[in-house]
């Protein structure tokens, strides 16, 4: 079930990181403390989503393989 939603989690993570950076720049330029706090929350949420997505991708590839196996482009070819 969770395997087919990796793209959605990565997309939400990237969009929250992007909007967090934009809000931080706007909040800092306007001296708006509320926008800076909201942007920090978006940045933290985006980092958590991206880290969770990377963790689940690595977990789904299996832990019995060494790094040279799961880092090879093309996946399992043997």
Per-residue pLDDT of 5-59, as tens digits, reads 777 888 888 899 999 999 999 998 999 899 999 999 999 999 998 888 888 777 7
Helix (H) or strand (E) holding 17: helix 6-29
Supply the pLDDT for residue 1: 42
Rounded CA-CA distance 20/43 in Å is 5
- The answer to whether position 49 is within a domain reads yes
- The answer to whether position 71 is within a domain reads no
pLDDT at 64 over 70: no
* Entry pTM: 0.67
Helix (H) or strand (E) holding 25: helix 6-29
Per the structure, the count of domains in the chain is 1
Number of H helices, E strands in the chain: 3, 0
Domain range for residue 25?
A: 21-56
Radius of gyration of the chain (CA): 17
- The answer to whether position 63 is within a domain reads no
């Amino acid at each position: 079930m969770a395997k087919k939603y990796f793209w959605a989690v990565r997309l939400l993570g990237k969009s929250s990181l992007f909007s967090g950076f934009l809000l931080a720049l706007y909040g800092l330029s306007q001296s708006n403390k509320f926008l800076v706090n909201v942007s920090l929350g978006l940045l933290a949420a985006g980092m958590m989503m991206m880290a969770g997505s990377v963790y689940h991708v690595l977990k789904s590839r299996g832990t019995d393989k060494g790094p040279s196996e799961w880092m090879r482009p093309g996946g399992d070819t043997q």
